A and B are shown apart, each in its own frame.
Chain A
Amino acid sequence: MSTRVDPNLLIDLQDYGAVGAEKCFNCGTCTAMCPLTSDEHPFPRNMIRLAQVGAKEQLLASTDPWLCYYCGDCASTCPKEAEPGETMMALRRWLTAQYDPTGLSAKLYTSETAVIKTIVRIGLIVLVLFIGYHALTGFHNIVTNSVQLNTFAPVMLVWALVLLHGSMLFYRMIAGVFKMSRHVLAPVTMGNKVPLRIYLETLPVYITAFATQRRWRDCHGDDEEKHDDGRWFKHFLLVTGYVTMLVLILGFLWWFQTDAFYPLWHPQRWLGYYATIVLIYTSSEILIGRWRKTEQLHRFSQPTDWLFPTFILTGAVTGIFVHIFRYAGWAWPTYIIYVIHVMAMVAMLDTEVGVGKWAHLFYRPLAMYLEAIKAKVREEQLVPDFAPTGTD
């Protein structure tokens, strides 16, 4: 089997944050130190090697980057200080960009100005939409003597826009998912179709991986001193927080954005509070960690790494202020902070879903799912003469 090499691959990856990959002399220390490495997936050295030789196809077909949770054990003993964990991180960014059909991801990951421009542009579009709506309605819908949020921003209209925009983003995400699946399955299926039955039989893998991120808990392996489920748990909290928010907004916005006052015990309130508190806590924790660089994985931060937690924090804080101002009966502050909230959240979804850090939400479990499918295909010998590839 011939391999096409891309001689610029390593240089490209440096833009995505592969800070030391060129130094690696392939000693294998990192792989032997990695608690998540396995016989089928002995990473990270294999990935660095492929990057060094420019084996783009093999990298695109590999799920290994998604199986790494960046505990940093590899980097701490690398004799070349080649930062193998950073290369894995860079590969996740690069793969996200490769799978993204719009090309936005590549821009966001490789240029800071692109990040700022995109955010500002999206914010302005949202602002213009608000101003346009009120201009068209002759500014009659801005009630100032009491808080009438649903007049200021009619919930059904907002919801319709959310769903419309959401489905566009979902389409972008799904396109990436398909692209990844194609690349990963190709070396095993060799052009044959995987029967639907196998997709369905292995589906539980996706669901548990998505819901629990259980694999992460193997980080630091048997090193009891360092092993700590704290990071996993915080991340798990974060996921519950934003999934709650997402469900409330996508499914129940008419119930969640309201001018009514609910009693404290009502789920409308405590669900919102739970999500807000969790999101504020976890996102500030992440930001402080990145600032202090205490953990291995936080020593090198790309602009996009700051972005997601910053958005979450902004979203949660502005969200809770909308709530406070509304209960306090302050009309203008409620409306202004609401507009800011929507600007930030639209910018977040546009720069995250399928293209930014958020993409790993789908890709990580997908990687495990695809591996399960591959294993099944091999096990059942659906493809008589499949050839093992260099990446697995």
Chain B
Amino acid sequence: MKNLQVDALVVGGGIAGMQSALDLADQGFHVALVEKEASIGGKMISLSKVFPTLDCCSCITTPKMSAVAHHENITLLTYCEVVALEQNGASYRAQINKKPRYVNEESCTGCRLCEYACPLDLPSAFDMGLGAQRVIRVPFSTAVPQKAVLDIDNCILCGKCENVCPVADCIDFTQTAVTFEIHADAIVLATGFELTPTDAKAEYGGGKLRNVVDALTVERFLAPTGPYGHVLRPSDGKEPESIAYVQCAGSRDISLGVAYCSRICCMYAIKQAMLLSGALPLADITIYYMDIRTFGKGYEQFYQNARAMGIEFVRGKVARIHEDAAQNPVVRVEQIDDGSVVEREHDMVVLSVGMLPSYNPGLIYNVPVAADDGFVAQSAANISPCLTYQPGIFVAGTAAGPMDIVDSIVMAGAAAAETAAYLEERRAVGMAGNGRSPQTTSVKEVSYA
């Protein structure tokens, strides 16, 4: 693979990274988008609907994903990671490692015949282990790029996929990682967030009690592309009649090392509660919370609507969860409003897990993270939130801290604007001009068109 020269390198292909890349590319800058997974889309592509409008999430994410893939100024590099970065005068030289897909990315047509032929079923990562996935597969139905990827660790090398693949030499069990370089004048970090592991708080039994699940799992239950098309609790496939949400399950808890509020979980819990009321009209839904944080436009109304719909809100932080003989989770909580301690049984309990930083760019990018929360440190958080402590490196979306999709998009746009201003400024003093100079046209090394 040849080296690339671009104006800006965007790291992370979630909603924030995609938006930054698009905004820069639309202004004529050349952008390379590096995503470590086999598809872009980030967490957003696995969500069902989004608060507070309840728009279908696939319907708004997929067009962005295709726009990124088809933009003539964007070079999309999936399954890639920046493994080293060097400052080269005024610009950066990033060393990229492209992991082997064991499938020729250029020639794969995404026909999925290999996937159908593969005899091995594994728990589906995309569906939070609810459904199954094959060892060789297109990551999910709306993945971009629509290219197969083979999980060599689980492969038994039976060759069935290779036999059915209609493209010559497309599946290649001998593929190895490749490295190449990207030269860029600026970088946007949009590496997103991780969820609190379900077993982080032992008292909640996550990971041990089968009917205690995290909120992303419920997104998959509710998504039109989800594994069952129904909400079925994990232990016995029964339709839950009573569902409880445990708020702040991983946030605002110093005993877990997380002091901050994750912002999104109140809102997504309310959203899911509403969607569940639609999917299971007879189910009782209870949300155990300390305070409901509705921080955006229309969000408080959204919450009030949920109350009006009959969703029960109980003030009190759940202390612990255990299971009864029928594997029903039993929640123990002090109901703050009257001071009574109760144990209430539900069919399924959802942990409203929080946001943790997913990636520490300290080592490679020399970009520090904030000491108190581990998200990328902003050098001027309240006047230029996209600036990091490294000139030419910007941050967007949840890489900078907990935020929802709207805020991620806004910040991604701001990061693009900051990056553009930075690039123009350098060009004015004659320091840059790697990609967008009048003579050069688009530099596209890989094309998925």
A binding-site residues for B, Cβ under 8 Å: 25-33, 37, 39, 42, 45-46, 76-81
Select from chain A the residue with minimum beta-carbon distance to B202. A77
**In whole angstroms, what is the CA distance A28 to B248 when docked?**
13
The reply to whether B341 and A79 form a contact with Cβ atoms under 8 Å apart is: no
The reply to whether A42 and B252 form a contact with Cβ atoms under 8 Å apart is: no
Q: Which of A27, A29, A33, A78 has the most CB of B within 10 A?
A: A27
Known contacts being A25-B290, A28-B319, is A79 close to B252, with CB within 8 Å? Answer: yes
Known contacts being A27-B316, A28-B333, is A42 close to B254, with CB within 8 Å? Answer: no
The reply to whether A79 and B339 form a contact with Cβ atoms under 8 Å apart is: no
Q: Please name 19 pairs of A and B residues whose Cβ atoms are closer than 8 Å in the assembled complex, sorted by A.
A: A25-B252, A26-B290, A27-B290, A27-B316, A27-B336, A28-B317, A29-B334, A32-B319, A32-B334, A33-B319, A39-B340, A42-B339, A46-B339, A77-B203, A77-B255, A77-B320, A79-B253, A79-B254, A79-B255
**In whole angstroms, what is the CA distance A338 to B396 when docked?**
77
**In whole angstroms, what is the CA distance A231 to B248 when docked?**
35
B319 proximity list for chain A (CB < 8 A): 28-33, 77
A interface, by DSSP: helix, strand, loop or mixed? loop
B93 proximity list for chain A (CB < 8 A): none
B322 to chain A, nearest CB (A): 9
Known contacts being A32-B316, A32-B341, is A26 close to B253, with CB within 8 Å? Answer: no
**Quick check: is B332 within 8 A (CB to CB) of the other chain?**
yes
B 288-340 contacts with A by CB, 8 A: 290, 316-320, 332-336, 339-340
Select from chain A the residue with minimum beta-carbon distance to B319. A32
Cβ contact of A79, chosen from B316, B317, B333, cutoff 8 A: B317
B334 proximity list for chain A (CB < 8 A): 28-29, 31-32, 42, 45
B290 proximity list for chain A (CB < 8 A): 25-27
A3 to chain B, nearest CB (A): 16
**In whole angstroms, what is the CA distance A37 to B339 when docked?**
11
The reply to whether B255 and A32 form a contact with Cβ atoms under 8 Å apart is: no
The reply to whether A28 and B316 form a contact with Cβ atoms under 8 Å apart is: yes
**In whole angstroms, what is the CA distance A81 to B318 when docked?**
16
A31 proximity list for chain B (CB < 8 A): 319, 334, 339, 341
Extra pairs beyond A27-B317, A79-B252 (12, CB < 8 Å): A25-B290, A29-B334, A32-B316, A32-B333, A32-B341, A45-B334, A45-B336, A76-B255, A77-B203, A77-B319, A79-B317, A80-B254
The reply to whether A81 and B254 form a contact with Cβ atoms under 8 Å apart is: yes
**In whole angstroms, what is the CA distance A28 to B334 when docked?**
5
**In whole angstroms, what is the CA distance A25 to B336 when docked?**
11
B41 to chain A, nearest CB (A): 33
Cβ contact of A32, chosen from B248, B254, B332, cutoff 8 A: B332
Known contacts being A29-B319, A32-B332, A79-B253, is A42 close to B340, with CB within 8 Å? Answer: yes
**In whole angstroms, what is the CA distance A224 to B220 when docked?**
38
4 tightest A-B contacts by CB?
A28-B334, A32-B319, A27-B317, A79-B253
B339 proximity list for chain A (CB < 8 A): 31, 42, 45-46
A79 proximity list for chain B (CB < 8 A): 248, 252-256, 317
B203 proximity list for chain A (CB < 8 A): 33, 77
**In whole angstroms, what is the CA distance A46 to B340 when docked?**
11
A28 proximity list for chain B (CB < 8 A): 316-317, 319, 333-336
A61 to chain B, nearest CB (A): 16
